[in-house]
Amino acid sequence: MDSLTNLMSGFGVVFTPENLLFVFLGVTIGTIIGVLPGLGPTATIALLLPITYSITPEAAIMMLAGVYYGSMYGGTITSVLLRIPGEAASAITALDGYEMTKQGRGGPALGIAAIGSFIGGTIAIIGLALIAPAVAAAALRFGPPEYAAITILGLVLVTYLGTKSTVKSVIAALFGLLLAAVGPDPIQGTSRFSFDMPELISGLDLVAIAMGMFGIGEIMYNLEKRLTSSGTIGTIDRILPTKQDWKDSRGPIARGTILGFPIGILPGGGGVMSSLASYAVEKKVAKDPSRFGKGAIEGVAGPETANNSSSISAFIPLLTLGLPSNAVLALILGALMMQDITPGPGMIDEHPELFWGVIASMFIGNLILLALNLPFVGLFVQLLRVRIGIIGGVALLITLIGVYTISYTQFDMWVMIIAGFVGYLMRKTGFEPAPLVLAFVLGSVMEIAFRQSLLMSDGSLSIFVTRPISGTIIAVVALVIVTSVVGAIRRRRGQGNGIIDMTKQLAED
């Protein structure tokens, strides 16, 4: 009952002209950038970070959250019509969605994706409202050892589960931790790695790093690839699915919702893993698995529902533990911290209007998405004709203006440009920027918790394994590492067939 009462108060926060406007802007921008191949939610949120300085925390997080889950559906449009995933989580949808388009059924594919995303997202929001307070209450028992252990778990899971090359991801994460160490020592207050440069005494700015890595770096990489919507755009006739389509999709939508929710909570899980797992389940339970890959609507309904459900549930560890499960949520965490709000167990009590307002905004955002994408899908399709060169030029100008207006210093512009060039080189050489940025965000939290733990134990590392909660988390970390090593050995022998292997193969494809 308390959750229901608090959720109603959250709707009171959302139903103000300013907040409603930013919810609408968020889901609309999310859909658009999902449609545009080569410009995903991570880069877009990085570009929008400077705007969050000038608006309220509630409006800022509602907008950024809307960009995130709105992009999940936007990426479906290009997957279905062009077999070009606008977002990585929609890659699996292209297998059957594009085949449906070739059969003249692209409209029902997009329609069932919109309906499934709405259902999965709505149920996940209810789960978020019910589960998050319980998680926060349990997390109140966390001390520095538990926080240190859980940040390590987050980095390990994102590194091992969400990237192509484990070794390269570890290197990127270590470099991110090194960058996070620049600035004042959190315990002693002395300056570190400043090289007698006054600009580095307070450390590097997250916005400059993120906008460079995900903004300029992505723009340069995609411009070089000349990623455009080449090919014939599939035609759309009717949007609403038939009764038979709905009958075939009910089970996949239900299973996708149930499957996507827990995967979204898992650090390193997210849309790619949830959609892939849903597709594997649907193919397993199907009476005729041979239909998959040839236009089975179940192959669209299940994965699309799962990735939207997981994108909502991913906010549980972010809001209750301060643990982002992917790069997008790491940037949203950064936006909160720039507003002097630190997500964690105390957030519900300290900032109830923000916590419950964001959850309530997701209900409204999902309704707006459904209203936008069913009647106006043809309008979004026309965005596929916009050249990446035009998009890149505009985005580059926005990044330069945006990072300068934060502190009005040229130093941050240089940091952003250098970070962009490094991000471009990383993409070119097979490294991913996400572990670096995630480690940069979590680095200060992890260092403070780790050093406080050592102070509590007089320098003994045993404190991390003798306390029940932190010991359990460390055991999970060890299990993930061992599993990854065994999986790597099996892959080299040509025997790997686990979900991690499948996820990495999908990312490479």
pLDDT greater than 80 at residue 236: no
Quick one: pLDDT band at residue 59, thresholds 50, 70, 90? very high
pLDDT of residue 505: 46
Task: Write the pLDDT tens digit of every residue in 249-308.
Answer: 999 999 999 988 888 877 555 667 788 788 888 988 888 888 888 888 998 999 889 888
Task: Give the best-scoring range by mean pLDDT among 10-14, 98-102, 166-170.
Answer: 10-14
Q: What percent of the chain has pLDDT over 70?
A: 84
For residue 173, give both structure tokens: 């994460």
- Rounded to whole angstroms, the Cα distance separating 433 from 210 reads 9
pLDDT greater than 60 at residue 8: yes
88 vs 418: which has the higher pLDDT: 418
- Summarize the confidence of residues 352-375 as an average pLDDT: 86
pLDDT greater than 70 at residue 506: no
pLDDT greater than 80 at residue 382: no
- Summarize the confidence of residues 343-347 as an average pLDDT: 79
Average pLDDT in the chain = 80
137 vs 227: which has the higher pLDDT: 137
- Summarize the confidence of residues 375-381 as an average pLDDT: 68
* DSSP code per residue over 98-130: HHHHHTT-HHHHHHHHHHHHHHHHHHHHHHHHH
pLDDT of residue 24: 94
pLDDT of residue 19: 93
pLDDT greater than 60 at residue 380: yes
Task: Provide Rg for the chain, Cα atoms.
Answer: 22
Quick one: pLDDT band at residue 361, thresholds 50, 70, 90? very high
- Summarize the confidence of residues 179-197 as an average pLDDT: 83
183 vs 495: which has the higher pLDDT: 183
490 vs 354: which has the higher pLDDT: 354
67 vs 224: which has the higher pLDDT: 67
For residue 370, give both structure tokens: 């459904």
- Summarize the confidence of residues 44-70 as an average pLDDT: 86
pLDDT of residue 87: 63
pLDDT of residue 25: 93
Q: Which residues contact 207 (CB under 8 A, 6 or more apart)?
A: 46, 49, 50, 334, 338, 402, 403, 406, 412
Please tell me the least confidently modeled range out of 239-248, 379-388, 415-424, 435-444: 379-388
* DSSP code per residue over 220-283: HHHHHHT----SPPPP----SPPHHHHHHHHHHHHHHHHHHHHHHHSTT-HHHHHHHHHHHHHH
pLDDT of residue 509: 44
CB 373 within 8 A of CB 110: yes
Please tell me the least confidently modeled range out of 117-121, 235-239, 241-245: 235-239
pLDDT of residue 389: 67
pLDDT greater than 80 at residue 226: no
pLDDT of residue 502: 45
pLDDT of residue 381: 65
CB 171 within 8 A of CB 437: no
Task: Write the pLDDT tens digit of every residue in 98-134.
Answer: 888 888 888 888 888 888 888 988 899 888 888 888 8
Inter-axis angle of helices 93-102 and 298-313, to 10 degrees? 140
pLDDT greater than 80 at residue 3: no
> Between vectors from CA 269 to CA 296 and to CA 505, what angle results, nearest 5°?
60
- Rounded to whole angstroms, the Cα distance separating 163 from 102 reads 32
Please tell me the least confidently modeled range out of 236-240, 337-341, 348-352, 505-509: 505-509
pLDDT of residue 343: 81
pLDDT of residue 387: 67
